[in-house]
Amino acid sequence: MIATQTALINLDNSALKDLQILLSRLGLYPENEIDGIYGAKTKRAWVSFKQHYYLSDPDLIGPASYQKLKDESNKFELLISRKDFDEIFRYAKDRDRDIYFLPINRTLREFQINSSKRIAAFLAQVGHESASLRYSEEIASGFAYEGRKNLGNIYKGDGVRYKGRGLIQLTGRANYRTVGKALGLDLEDEPTLVKIPIISARVAGYFWQSNGLNELADHNAFRRITKKINGGYNGIDDRVRRWENARKVLGC
């Protein structure tokens, strides 16, 4: 018996298998491990699903959330499979791959990162920038950005408040305001929203598309992409290794 937010659902072995099948369609659960047991992997997949769709009580399974899972699994189209995603992010933790698989897939579609070349370049850069999906917030305090008017940091504390966040980091009050408006989010008033996986991924996607990086990826201009993101070529060897691996996995 599993507690839910509106009722108690008695999920027997057969019902749990159905749950796992639906989760597997979204790439959250391994197809070859469907066993009807509510173990650690099933729980982690369920929590990832609920967090992605902003559903409350992530541990609880109820009629409304189960129906949402059925609806989404029937209409969601993946631009990258879980197998390829895991191979590209081979050095990421299982938990981080679970958390970001759906947000990145949705981001690929929203920002037309929709060919093998574009996906390979995007995931390679995201992999480097986030240290294999480990970080969505700059480790440094952000104090170094204090008073940076070119970033729109005009008030005391702006440097720390608008430190780098996102899978490709967003920095500075002005950029939080601009990107927030583009995404329909008030990131200026609530900058820590960028740490939420789907928003973190969308911020990266918006930067990618708005800076013409899809077109550069079409022409394999990976060094130019790096300069657009980094302002130079920091970490170029790691970025290129990740790109070459992604191209191999995706056959491009």
Range of the domain at 165: 78-252
Of 32, 54, 76, the one marking the end of a domain is: 76
What would the mean pLDDT of 118-125 be, rounded to a whole number? 98
131 plus 7 within the same structural domain: no
What confidence tens digit (pLDDT) does each residue in 207-231 have? Answer: 999 999 999 999 999 999 999 999 9
* Least confident interval from 8-12, 21-25, 96-100, 180-184: 8-12
Residues 66 and 82 in one domain: no
Q: What backbone phi and psi angles, to 5 degrees, belong to 8?
A: -110, 125
**For residues 114 and 250, is the Cβ–Cβ distance under 8 A?**
no
pLDDT at 51: 83
Q: List, for residues 127-171, the tens digit of each pLDDT value.
A: 999 999 999 999 999 999 999 999 999 999 999 999 999 999 999
Can you give the three-state secondary structure of 86-103, one letter per residue? HHHCCCCCHHHHHHHHHH
CA distance 179 to 21: 36
CATH number at residue 101: 1.10.530.10
Q: Is the pLDDT of residue 30 over 70?
A: yes
- Give residue-wise pLDDT tens across range 235-244: 999 999 999 9
Residue 76 has pLDDT above 90, yes or no: no
Q: Are residues 87 and 182 in the same domain?
A: yes
Q: What is the pTM of this model?
A: 0.82
pLDDT for position 8? 37
Query: Are 130 and 6 part of one and the same domain?
Result: no
Rounded to whole angstroms, how far apart are CA atoms 34 and 131? 31
Is 133 found in the same domain as 198?
yes
Tokens of 151: 């970033």
Indicate if 149 and 223 belong to the same structural domain: yes
Residues 171 and 213 in one domain: yes
Amino acid identity, position 248: K
Under 8 Å CB-to-CB from 1, ≥6 apart: which residues?
8, 10
Place of tokens 């790109």: 243
* In a shared domain, residues 244 and 120: yes
How many domains does the chain divide into?
2
Helices in the chain by DSSP H: which ranges? 13-25, 40-52, 63-75, 82-88, 94-110, 116-129, 158-161, 173-183, 197-210, 213-218, 222-230, 236-250
Domain boundary among 45, 76, 107: 76
The mean of the pLDDT values for the chain is: 91
Strand partners, 2: 9
Q: Are residues 233 and 115 in the same domain?
A: yes
What span, in angstroms and rounded, lies between the C-alpha atoms of 208 and 203? Answer: 9
Nearest 10 degrees: Cα torsion 136, 200, 163, 122? 80
Write down the residue that tokens 């992605």 correspond to: 52
So what's the pLDDT on residue 59?
Answer: 78
Rg over CA atoms, the chain: 19
Which pLDDT belongs to residue 14?
A: 85
* Statement: residue 3 has pLDDT above 70: no
What token pair was written down for 38? 């509510």
DSSP 153-193: --STTHHHHT--BTTTTB-SHHHHHHHHHHHT--TTT-GGG
What's the pLDDT score for residue 9?
53
pLDDT band at 182 (very low <50, low <70, confident <90, very high): very high
Distance CA 10, CA 134 (A): 36
Same domain, 119 and 32: no
Q: In this structure, are 64 and 139 located in the same domain?
A: no
Domain closes at, from 76, 96, 118 = 76
Q: pLDDT category, 61, cuts 50, 70, 90? A: confident
Q: Helices 222-230 and 236-250, interaxial angle, to 10°?
A: 130
Tokens of 242: 């990740």
Q: Tell me: do 172 and 240 sit in the same domain.
A: yes
